[in-house]
A and B are shown apart, each in its own frame.
Chain A
Amino acid sequence: MTAATAMQPAEGRPIIKVSGLRVEFQTDDGMVAGVKDVSFEIQPGETLCVVGESGSGKSVTSLSILRLIEFGGGRIAAGSLEFARGSGEVIDLAKAEPDVMQGIRGNEIGMIFQEPMTSLNPVFTIERQLTDGLKRHRGLTGEDARGRALELLREVRIPEPERRLTQYPHELSGGMRQRIVIAMAMACRPRLLIADEPTTALDVTIQAEILGLIDRLKRENGMAVLFITHDMAVVAQMADRVVVMYRGDVVEEGPVRDIFEQPREAYTKALLAAVPKLGEMRDKPAPEPMRILGDETLRAAAPPPAICTRREPLLTVKNLTTRFPVKGGLMRRTVANVHAVEDVSFQLAKGATLSLVGESGCGKSTCGRSILRLVEAESGEIQLDGWNVRGLSRLDLRHARRDMQMVFQDPFASLNPYRRLLDQVAEPLVNFGLASGSELHDRVAHLFDRVELPRSFLRRFPHELSGGQRQRVAIARALAPNPKLIVADESVSALDVSVQAQVLNLLMELQADLGLSFLFISHDMAVVERVSHNVAVMYLGRIVEIGPRAAVFENPRHAYTRSLLDAVPIADPARRRPHDDRSFRPLSSPIFPVGAPVEPSSYDEVAPGHFVLRPLAAA
């Protein structure tokens, strides 16, 4: 039995028409609706972006179209998913038989997943993975399949496609892997391409290339694209039309310009307000809090952080170098070194924020962790308010850590699931013997007030809190010993955009009130522009450009800074940047053989306080 009804294909007929979709999940507490009532349609050659925060049901929607949701314990409870097949018939995917779905998945509907590291099978070659679908759906064999695979690799513009076919996924970079995943999705010329956060795990320059690639493939093939993302900036760059989702429901739907310029619903407005836009801090002397709209944040007009007038340095880092050995061979000897941080120097003033920005692997996290001595640096000097951090004994180091605390990226992993929040926030106070008994309880309660968490949370466990609340706990823990420096390592990257704005505002407010210095490590240029006094751009372990925020953002002098700024998508559909998806950078590696000569970093001062790395002879 099929639910298909033969129809004539017609111009203007949508490729997919979702009506009244409701998806339920069986849980211990009974049925829970992941998606309540979702309807939309996509025309050929159109990109529909479904945008929403975590838990909004956007991924559930995409998995339902492929009927993959059943493998995750979900069930389509109501609604229809009318899909116009290549043959011209229209079929309701919600009622299609499993074998019909198998003929559609990977054939007429292609899917790109978020994580290029895990959506490729590590034990098969690229050729095997690419030709799999071709053999099944197109009946190609041997040389034909190989030829088509090569064609696909050229189409997604992978250099040296012949060689790639024989390689395994681990031999390729993240961006290259995502291109392979896209090639696989494109293998059978799908009519509908579903991309679920395809660039979230990628660096911003690679993101720009991948977005350009998806856009070009859409135009060349006339596909419909269902693009799922949490990132309003990506929406602005990619979408023709937008569906905004919130808690399983469609909040608003419309052409991309209307959504961005005249949002009707309060939720859409709040979502857009919370997105920092690169370039909007032009001509502003100091960091500003994020705009927050919405009911729960009426006190959002947080006081702007004090302009940094005091110029005494709190933290001085000189020639910091951290390397990790690469072991190999039978005797597990060090065969090479990863130069994670190479000859990095900077100063951070009291009450100021210095941001370290760069792409994954540039050494920004290692730099922060070296300063706290969570990893040991190889050489260099770290002065923190009188402490010579690198020269401290283990005992002194524990005391010095009172002055420097850290807030980590993942609020789900940085709290011990088995301890009550009270005990976790109290931990530094107990360790340093700063408080005990009822005083301890009072101080922790005050810290909870400070980060705007209800005191009733004191007795709770981490899993009972949302991501943003957990990050507040982590901030409270960092604040507990009254530190002077807080290293915030991607502390808002894992949060939804509205929550991110609230946490950023909290951090800025704390800075204004307590005179904290922040070393703010981030890959998000728009956030960095918002919060920083000074910015250092890192690339391959070195600072390539450092200076006041305005100088670095408005007058970038190093080529890498420029390419980074160019690649950032802007949350404004009127400012679309056409990206050439061919702009391959040579793969640079921070791995050097043992004893390789390393040049010191030397800088030109292009403006007062604005330094640019001189080109290295070796590079």
Chain B
Amino acid sequence: MKRFLTPQGVIGFTLIVIIVAIGIFAPLIIPPDMATKMKMTMRLKPPSMGYPFGTDQLGRDIFFRVLLGAHTSLGIAGAAVAISVLIGLPLGIISGYARGAVDNVLMRIVDTLLSFPALLLALTISAMLGPSIPNTIIAIGIAFTPFLARIIRGEALRVSAMPYVEAARAAGTNDAAMIWRHILPNVLPLVIVQATISLAFAILAEAGLSFLGLGTQPPNSSWGLMIQASRDYLDVAPWTALAPGAAVALTVLALNMFGDVLRDVLDPRAQ
């Protein structure tokens, strides 16, 4: 608990609570037309009392769009990272623990996938599945898996070589118990840190897909979609990118701070 109560931990945690709360409650509180209502007379207005973050190219209120975009952005990124951890963690652990032929086969597949840029991979999958939010989640989730699996495999390999694993084997521990009691807890801190970093990249990946018309579909808003849409107006209306950009940056920062602290909190050595 002492570790958690560092400035970094408190700030990170508070920010995450606020951002997640916005993601969950904003769609319930804010009427959807607040963010989708177009007002051609109010196009590209700078921030003011009525429009704290300004308006976009269709005269929509950026403040509400950012608040509502949190839901889509965080939801997609969170679900996608969850998928990649769910696939990548067992894959990596089995590969690193079993070694030999299993490792070779799994890692060659992973290496092949890794040789494509993650975004290209997500793009391909997304294009195959068709544009929808669940498909975007699946696409990003799968695209992020190889990287995670590779890193986890390396860590599992390292942990498997530790004397306490050999000691447990000498004490008659079978493979399933070995993974559950000894490998997993020692690999988990790395997974947590990686997942928080991946979450940041996933928010950006969703933005990329949305830009290419494969992610979030207008008139729904997501931070990535907003950043991409602002591209044409950056010179006349920089605030259109500023608010969603700041939202992404703040989320990423909060996640990193929180991830670091979480890792320390979970480490019994640091208590």
Residues of chain A touching chain B, judged by Cβ–Cβ distance below 8 Å, are: 372, 374, 398-399, 401-402, 404-406, 408-410, 413-419, 423, 427-428, 431-432, 461, 463, 474, 477, 480-481
Contacts and interface: CB of A to CB of B under 8 A. Distances in A.
A461 B171 contact: no
B99 to A, nearest CB: 14
B168 interface: yes
A414 B164 contact: yes
A432 B172 CA distance: 7
A404 B169 CA distance: 12
Interface of B: 162-164, 166-174, 177, 181-182, 185-186, 267-269, 271
Most chain A CB neighbours (cut-off 10 Å) among B164, B173, B185: B164
A285 B177 CA distance: 46
Contacts of A404: 170
B268 A461 contact: yes
A427 B268 CA distance: 19
23 contacts: A374-B166, A401-B171, A402-B172, A404-B170, A406-B170, A410-B163, A413-B163, A414-B164, A414-B166, A415-B164, A416-B181, A417-B267, A418-B186, A419-B185, A423-B181, A427-B171, A427-B181, A428-B172, A431-B172, A461-B271, A463-B269, A477-B167, A481-B172
B172 A408 contact: no
B268 A477 contact: no
B171 A431 contact: yes
A410 B163 CA distance: 8
Contacts of A399: 172
A197 B172 CA distance: 38
A459 to B, nearest CB: 11
B162 to A, nearest CB: 6
B167 A398 contact: no
B186 A416 contact: yes
A282 B89 CA distance: 59
Given A398-B172, A406-B167, 7 more contacts: A401-B170, A415-B164, A418-B186, A427-B171, A431-B177, A474-B167, A477-B167
A333 B231 CA distance: 56
B186 A414 contact: no
Nearest to B269: A463
A399 B233 CA distance: 73
B166 A408 contact: yes
Most chain A CB neighbours (cut-off 10 Å) among B171, B186, B271: B171
B4 to A, nearest CB: 14
B170 A416 contact: no
Contacts of A413: 162-164
Nearest to A423: B181
Contact of B174 (A410, A415, A417, A431): A431
A374 B182 CA distance: 17
A409 B164 CA distance: 11
B186 A408 contact: no
Nearest to A487: B170
Contacts of A415: 164, 167
B267 to A, nearest CB: 8
A100 B186 CA distance: 46
B269 A408 contact: no
A404 B170 CA distance: 8
B179 to A, nearest CB: 13
A413 B170 CA distance: 15
A381 B267 CA distance: 44
B170 A405 contact: yes
B157 to A, nearest CB: 16
Nearest to B166: A374
Contacts of B164: 413-416
Contacts of B172: 398-399, 401-402, 428, 431-432, 481
Contacts of B269: 417, 461, 463
Contacts of B181: 416, 419, 423, 427
A416 B174 contact: no
A405 B185 contact: no
Contacts of A402: 172
Shortest 9 CB-CB distances between A and B: which pairs?
A418-B185, A428-B171, A461-B268, A431-B172, A463-B269, A414-B163, A413-B163, A416-B164, A406-B170
A406 B169 CA distance: 10
Nearest to B164: A416
A371 B10 CA distance: 53
Contacts of A428: 171-172
A415 B267 CA distance: 14
Nearest to A433: B172
Contacts of B166: 374, 408, 414
Nearest to A375: B166
A399 B174 CA distance: 12
A278 to B, nearest CB: 29
Contacts of B163: 408-410, 413-414
B271 to A, nearest CB: 8
B185 to A, nearest CB: 4
Nearest to A412: B163
A427 B173 contact: yes
A410 B164 CA distance: 10
Most chain A CB neighbours (cut-off 10 Å) among B166, B169, B170, B177: B170
A431 B162 CA distance: 20
Most chain B CB neighbours (cut-off 10 Å) among A398, A418, A423, A461: A418
